Chain A
Amino acid sequence: GAGVSQSPSNKVTEKGKDVELRCDPISGHTALYWYRQSLGQGLEFLIYFQGNSAPDKSGLPSDRFSAERTGGSVSTLTIQRTQQEDSAVYLCASSFPGRSGQSYNEQFFGPGTRLTVL
C-alpha cells in the first residue's frame, strides 16, 4: 500500500493482559515513530526508530511499554499488563530522513489502533 498501515484497527482487552500493536511504514521510510492520542493527554510521542535502532525512547510512559523494529520496516509496540489508563489511540508515523540523516521532514501517519482496556 501507499500509506502507513496499522493493525488491528481496534483492540479491546482486559486489564492485565498483554497487547501487540503493529505498524507497517511507507516503503523506503527509515524513520518510524509511535505516538499516543488520548482525551486527557492529547498527542504524545512515545518512541522513534531510525532503521532498527531506537535513539529516542524518552516518551515511553513505563517499563510495561516496549517496541521493536525488524528489517528496518515493520514495528511492533507491546504493552504488558495493560491498565485502564493505557486506553488510547496509538498512532504510527514514518518519515524519510533529511540530507543530514536527521529526520525533520513531514511525518506520515497511519490510521491508528484504538485500544480499549476494560
Chain B
Amino acid sequence: AQKVTQAQTEISVVEKEDVTLDCVYETRDTTYYLFWYKQPPSGELVFLIRRNSFDEQNEISGRYSWNFQKSTSSFNFTITASQVVDSAVYFCALSEAYNPGGKLIFGQGTELSVKP
C-alpha cells in the first residue's frame, strides 16, 4: 500500500538554525516520484522539488537541500539558516507510475515555525 509519513507534526526553531523535515514513504512500485510542497499561511500549495526513484543524487537549491535514500525509503528536507519567511506547513508527497495521471499521496504535513 502506498503511504507517506511525516512524523513531525510541528517544529519550532529560532531564525538561523538549521532544520530537517523527515519524510518516509511506502510503495510497491519500482518507479515513483517524490515531491515536497510548501503551504504558507496564505494557503496556496507551492511546488518545491520533484525527484524520481532512479535518481538518488541529493539536491541543493539555495538554503534548501534534499536527501533521498531508497535504502531507508526516506526523502528528507533540510533548510539551512532558517528565516521567518520559511514558516509554513510542508508536505511530502508520493506519486506512483502505475497510477494514471500520477495522483499525489500526501503526508500529514509538518508545520514549521521560525521565530525571530
Q: A residues touching B (Cβ–Cβ < 8 Å)?
A: 31, 33, 35, 42-45, 48, 50, 55-56, 58-59, 89, 91, 93, 95, 102-112
Query: How many interface residues does chain B have, given as a range?
Result: 20 to 34
Q: Is the CB of A45 within 8 A of B102?
A: no
Cα distance A23–B41 when bound, in Å?
21
Of A35, A48, A89, the residue contacting B43 (CB under 8 A) is A89
Q: Is the CB of A104 within 8 A of B95?
A: yes
Q: Which residues of A contact B45 (CB under 8 A)?
A: 91, 93, 109
Q: Is the CB of A106 within 8 A of B106?
A: no
Among all A-B residue pairs, the 9 with the closest Cβ atoms: A48-B101, A43-B106, A109-B45, A104-B102, A55-B100, A45-B103, A106-B47, A104-B33, A42-B108
Q: Is the CB of B100 within 8 A of A45?
A: no
Of B43, B52, B91, the residue contacting A112 (CB under 8 A) is B43
Q: Is the CB of B100 within 8 A of A50?
A: yes
B99, B100, B101, most chain A CB atoms within 10 A: B101
Binary contact readout B46-57 vs A (1 if CB under 8 angstroms, 0 otherwise): 110010100000
CB distance from A1 to the nearest CB of B (A): 13
Cα distance A106–B43 when bound, in Å?
18
Q: Is the CB of A35 within 8 A of B104?
A: yes
Q: Is the CB of B47 within 8 A of A107?
A: yes
